[in-house]
Amino acid sequence: MSKRFLKQTWRWYGPQDSVSLSDIKQAGATGIVSALHHIPHGEVWTKEEITKRKNIIEEEGLEWSVVESLPVHEDIKTRSGNHEQLIQNYTKSLENLAACGIQTVCYNFMPVLDWTRTQLDKELENGAKALNFNWIDLAVFDLYILKREEAFEEYAEDIKTQAKDRFENADSNYLNALCEIVLMGIPSEGNISIESLRKSIETYKSIGKEGLKKNHIWFLQQISDTCMAHGIKMTIHPDDPPYPILGLPRIASNLEDLIYIITKVDEEFNGICFCTGSLGASQTNDLVKILEQVKHKVYFAHLRNVKKDEIGNFYESDHLDGDVDMYNIVRLLVEENQGRENSIPFRPDHGHEMLDDIGKETNPGYSAIGRLKGLAELRGLELGIISSNNT
Ligand code: DNO
């Protein structure tokens, strides 16, 4: 019977996070996933700042296992402006992280917006609250708030009709909340404005999917030597949701994209953060099939589940109850983990707002109890798989 467990980690937003390191210890995680959110995108993470965070984590008896994210500046994604200097800064941050013993780094290459939802408090049957993505709400934002010209040609007729109806009957609370949620970035990093979103959409229109793919490969090539010299593993986070929204291109949404990325820069450092909730929101992704083909490049995993409907709306369901075949995903990860030098870190990604967390100020998706439940379920699943020798 194999006995090698995945590394159980937990995202911590730093000293400002309302979930404390001691809460995390009680939840049972041993590794921390964190980032220096107070440093503006593009600036160098100095050894002093990294060490400060690392010490806080270690004083609690925990380990800083993964950086999520070392953000890729928009000028790098668009390969414009100050991109040469920004690449140098990025590599310097990587060197500093490695010098402090942190070698697994998560990043994304999504234009402008990180993950996108249209509602943060969808009430479930049992009273807990979940993050939700609804195409009609997105169309309301796109057509009537952002007022993107091409949008009218992109949505299906019935979505447009329903969006019009929803908009005409909407009150300002709904519209303000929708606007804020779509424009939301990482909590401590602030929202972007409608104006800058419009500008970015224009910029990415001329870059397109092919251009963004090229810029990503260029980015990987630029950081390759540093990563190889310092044993750094880069893990790209899939697009969330995994299809184009608001006219922005997507390059990490499905098996084809991921295979392209790992084969085009075929170096050990170039890996994947296997996020089941992001990839799982697509109608066409078969996650087990994807994982079978890319598992050797998975250096980090986000485990969560989604329930989708036929038009592509989805909400975040319980970790073991949704459209993602979590049993087979964990089985494959456990199998892959047996041959690894270092255990693959995973974190229970997002959790419901539930029990005492309802009404508490927490980062959307990152309340304590929902994630604690997710982690407990996932650990149980892993133990069951390992104990029954199913790998
Ligand atoms: C959402 C997260 C993302 C992720 C970044 C990685 O909860 O999965 O914010 O951390 O996209 O760069």
* Residue 174 covered by a domain: no
- Annotation marks residue 107 as catalytic: no
We report the CATH number of the domain holding residue 60 as: 3.20.20.150
Is 76 within a domain? yes
Q: Is the CB of 337 under 6 A from ligand 1?
A: no
Identify residue 236 by its one-letter amino acid code: I
Query: Tell me: the pLDDT tens digits for 165-197?
Result: 999 999 999 999 999 999 987 666 778 899 999
Asked about 366 being catalytic, the answer comes back as yes
Query: Ligand 1: distance of its center to the CA of 188 in Å?
Result: 13
- CA 312 from chain centre, in angstroms, equals 19
Query: 366 in ligand 1 pocket by Cβ < 6 Å?
Result: no
In a domain, 213, yes or no: yes
Domain that holds residue 59: 7-115+208-389
Q: Which sign does the torsion angle of CA 296, 266, 234, 306 carry?
A: negative
- For residue 115, the CA-to-ligand 1 centroid distance in Å is 6
Does residue 161 belong to any structural domain of this protein? no
Encode pLDDT of 206-249 as tens digits: 999 999 999 999 999 999 999 999 999 999 999 999 999 999 99
What own/partner pairs with CB < 8 Å and gap ≥ 24 does 82-87 have? 82/42, 86/42, 87/219, 87/222, 87/223
The predicted pLDDT at position 3 comes to: 82
pTM as predicted = 0.97
> What's the pLDDT at 389?
77
Q: Point out the ligand 1 atom lying closest to the alpha carbon of residue 365.
A: 7
Instruction: Tell me, yes or no, if 299 is annotated catalytic.
Output: no
185 found inside a domain? no
Per the structure, how many domains does the chain have? 1
pLDDT at 377: 98
> If you take atom 4 of ligand 1, which residue's CA is the nearest one?
237
- Whether residue 148 lies inside any domain: the answer is no
Give the model confidence (pLDDT) of 64-92 as tens digits: 999 999 999 999 999 999 999 999 999 99
Give the span between the Cα atoms of 24 and 120, in whole angstroms.
Answer: 23
Residue 274's region, left for phi above 0, alpha for psi from -120 to 50, else beta, is beta
Residue 252 covered by a domain: yes
302 included as an active-site residue: yes
For residue 165, tell me if it sits in a domain: no
Q: How far is the CA of 35 from the centre of ligand 1 (A)?
A: 11
